[in-house]
Structure 1
Amino acid sequence: MLRSTLIRTAIAGVAVLGLAACGGGGDPLSGDDDAGGSPAPAEVKSITVGSADFSESQLLAEIFGQALAAKGVEVKQQQNIGNRETYMAAIKDGSVHLLPEYTGAALSYFKKDATETEDEAAYNALKAALPSGLEVLDKSPAADEDAIVVTKATADKYSLKSLGDLKAHSKEMVAGGSSEFKVREAGLKGLKDKYGVEFKEYKTLDAGGPLSAKALLDNQIQVSNFFTTQSLIKDNNLVMLEDPENILPPNNIVPLIRTDHKAANITDALNAVSAKLTTDSLTDLVKRIDVGKEAAKAVAADWLSKNQLS
């Protein structure tokens, strides 16, 4: 969900072309009589699984897809679609039918004014906020939370323990990370609105990837956004700043699926996966990809086998 070598490549433009080429059934989930509002079928024999443009999402898409394939479902993978705005468009228009998602982040996408800070509350609010034609299955105990981090040297220099502590020194500091972190509530917008924090400069780099890691460790930036399943944080002794105002939402892993592809054979297989997945195991799996350079497909197959899900 990122170790110093994490790759979260921004290829949304390429992905959009790929989605256009692959087609997909169903009308967009917009308007009153959309195809996405169709009832769930008795059985689904084929499904297209999508992922975002970072390694943890790709791993989860492989885990979901291989678990379904083990149950006899024909699975197509549409990997590296892009950021949330891009892959949400894909599931809405039917280019993909299933995506790994995160409860709090998805809730904020569908409900801009969401305030839920507890796991179960965020999950229930997400279910209520989804448009007709989209549903979530069981959430997993595994979670990948946003973390706003600094190096230990920076924390010591400015006596930083919480995000509020940044205010006194933020005008001297440069923040960096993804384009989304610059504008989202779980980022610079929330830091300004809830903590009064404004930085001297912002450098657009990548989403918890190698560019952000190098810039932070080289002190080219002093604050960035990483994720709690990233071994990068522990491996480099980074400090995750506390968030008493709760601008960072709970983010349990959850399958997001089109209703027209939600059948018992799909639901049962994916709920079994979600029940077995833990934050610690997810952290280890992603490290094997980002640090060990193993293929996501092989890492997913190994985990499924060890957990008797394939």
Structure 2
Amino acid sequence: MTDLLRVLRTQHQDILSALGQHLSISLISLLIAAVIAIPLAIYLRRYRRVAGVVLQITGVMQTIPSLALLGFLIPFVGIGTLPAIIALVVYAVMPIFQNTYTGFTTIDPSLEEAASAFGLSRFHRLTRIELPLAMPLIVSGLRIAMVMIIGTATLAALIGAGGLGTYILLGIQNNDNSLLLIGAILSAVLALIFSALIQWLGKLSFRKIIYIFAAILVLFAGWGAYAVISRPAPTITIAGKLGSEPEILINMYKDLIQQDHPRQKVVLKRNFGTTTFLYKALKAGQIDIYPEFTGTVMESLVKVKNYGHDPQKIYRQGKTLLKQQDNLDYLSPMHYQNGYALVVSKAFAKKYHLKTIDDLKAVQNKVKAGFDLDFYQQKDGYPGVRKAYNLKFGKVSSMQSSLRYKAIASGEVNLVDGYTTDPQIQKYHLVALKDNRKFFPPYQGAPLVRNKTLKQHPGLKRSLNKLKGKITDKDMQKMNYQVTFQHQKAATVARNYLIKHGLLVK
């Protein structure tokens, strides 16, 4: 509860912003889905075969994994709000269409006949008899769609659209229940509020519903027009993956660029979920820069095997291959490496004088290890370490990555895998053992930039290369700790580092 209150106190503005983003994405998606599904269902109520085909198509669309759909949309419509809304509309159309169609096709035919006998036109039959009778099912479809939209909209954070999903994803990644609760509780509250509002809407007359619906459409149309008119001048868009470290780096990039070019507009897109999404967005020109690590470049982007362990050689090879493959420029790397590490408790290290991975050999039968599922299986993880150092630990368990640090802090295990800049190392007073045989591949971070962006902004490369050889493992670990556990703003932490090391004028 203390952590939760501290997050609410220090990040209330960001939380309100995320809530507003989630709300706007959800409402716009519901309105678009309703505009598509309700008229279509009304039109097809007399064409049952066609309606059956449409139902099957919308049903199939709902089975498409949301992450796959978002990844597919990026090259066509970019990143941010638009692909998120498209994906949400795809998922929301089916329940609205199905319920609306069912509502109309289950009306007693004798009522239709009576209306015709009284001489009512088609329009009047629709507005005075059919719609009021079908309204309970239409409202039910809207409620189902809204709850589905609010839940699925949490994934919008993965493509830079923001929303409450940012807090849920960060909470899972950092094993931070306070962030997780903020995202989950606010999402649930939103779903309950809008479910109640839609239920109340269903009790109003058809005319009042039309008036309210039209007013909302006008409001959003005006908002959209204002956003287009007030859109800033051409910008440099910098994105980062999920977590505190990428957010710190992209804020450093922004500060360095704007110090040298004060009039340059820079937009930050933080907390993208995966390398794949970011790389697609970079190639498509939806973003201009993002920080990437040499190991990831070799493993995932240019897909080179057996690339060795020489940091400089790996960087040069990755830089050359990225240029040849996608005409991207990989600028100078920083000093620190966010690579794998074997981490032990401070008491265990002190008792057995452990400083390097080689030192574990003397106490390997006393080791109780807890490894992330991937590290436990992959060749550059535990299997490779065991072979390279000739180790055989007494007990090895696999577990979710978010649990392993809590396991070592509670004494359930005394060794885990981690990354050299993890803030949990500082929080739980752990020791990262030195990889004295240099088994783990290098993971140096550097800006990955579109060649076109560098040509449009000639001074950009010089600004970003000020970080060349800067930031130690301890520096980054400390900054990650300040953001993750002390809940300081990443922008503030980044700026303080740059000022302290003479890279930024105060």
Between the aligned partners of 1:190 and 1:118, the Cα distance in structure 2 is 17
Provide structure 1 residue ranges, at least 5 long, that are not aligned to the other structure: 1-12, 26-43
Give the number of aligned pairs.
275
Partner residue of 2:484? 290
1:273 corresponds to which residue?
467
> Match for residue 258 of structure 1?
450
Structure 2 residue aligned with 1:241, among 409, 427, 433? Answer: 433
**Distance of 1:24 and 1:283 partners within structure 2:** 33
1:98 Cα deviation after fit: 1.0
- 1:175 is matched with 370
Deviation string 1:73-94 (CA, Å, 9 cap, x unpaired) is 3222221112334433333343
With over 3 angstroms needed to count, the CA separation of the structure-2 counterparts of 1:244 and 1:16, relative to structure 1, is farther
Quick check: 1:154–1:222 contact (8 Å CA) kept in 2? yes
Q: Find out whether 1:202 has 2:398 as its counterpart.
A: yes
Q: State yes or no: 1:212 paired with 2:404.
A: yes
Query: Could you say what the CA RMSD is over the residues aligned between the two structures, in angstroms?
Result: 3.7
Please state which structure has a larger fraction of its residues in helix. Answer: 2
1:164 CA drift (Å): 8.8
Aligned to 1:64: 253
Residue 202 of structure 1: how far off its partner (Å): 0.9
| Counterpart for residue 137 of structure 1 | 331
Task: Indicate conservation of the 8 Å contact 2:376/2:398, yes or no.
Answer: yes
Indicate the larger mover: 294-303 or 80-89: 80-89
CA contact (8 A) 1:147 1:240 kept: yes
Unaligned runs of 5+ in 2: 1-65, 80-232
Which residue in 2 is equivalent to 1:302?
A: 496
Asked if structure 2 preserves the Cα contact closer than 8 Å seen for 1:175 and 1:224, the reply is yes
Q: Does 1:91 align with 2:286?
A: no
Residues 17 and 85 of structure 1: CA distance in aligned 2, closer, same or farther (over 3 Å):
closer
- What residue is the counterpart of 2:235 in the other structure? 46
Kindly, what percent of the aligned residue pairs are identical? 23
Deviates more, 1:106-115 or 1:120-129: 106-115
Check 1:280–1:16 CA distance in 2 against 1; reply closer, same or farther (3 A cut): farther
Contact 1:116–1:249 (8 Å) recurs in 2: yes
Could you say which structure has the greater relative contact order, defined with CA pairs below 8 angstroms and 6 or more residues apart?
1
CA distance, structure 2, for counterparts of residue 180 and residue 101 of structure 1: 20
When normalised by structure 1's length, the TM-score is: 0.71
C-alpha offsets along residues 213-272 of structure 1, whole Å, 9 cap, x if unaligned? 212211334432223234543564433334355331222221111222223222111012
Q: Is 2:342 the counterpart of 1:148?
A: yes
Question: Residue in 1 aligned with 2:295?
Answer: 104
For residues 246 and 127 of structure 1, the distance between their equivalents in structure 2, rounded to whole angstroms, comes to 22
Calculate the TM-score normalised by the size of structure 2.
Answer: 0.46
Secondary structure at the counterpart of residue 262 of structure 1: helix
Structure 1 stretch displaced more, 252-261 or 153-162: 153-162
| 1:24 matched residue in structure 2 | 78
Contact 1:141 1:277 in 2 (8 A): yes
Contact 1:171 1:200 in 2 (8 A): no
Supply the distance in 2 between the matched residues of 1:276 and 1:169 (Cα, whole angstroms).
Answer: 36
Alpha-carbon distance between aligned partners in 2 of 1:47 and 1:164, rounded to the nearest angstrom: 48
- Whether contact under 8 Å (1:15, 1:82) holds in the other structure is no
Could you say which residue in structure 1 is the equivalent of 2:307?
Answer: 115
- Mapped partners of 2:340, 2:452: distance in 1: 31
SS of the aligned residue for 2:338 comes to: coil
The 1:184/1:125 distance shift into structure 2, 3 A limit, reads farther
CA contact (8 A) 1:182 1:188 kept: yes
Asked whether the equivalents of residues 108 and 114 of structure 1 are also in contact (C-alpha less than 8 Å), the reply is: no
Max Rg structure = 2
Task: State the distance in 1 between where 2:420 and 2:367 align.
Answer: 26
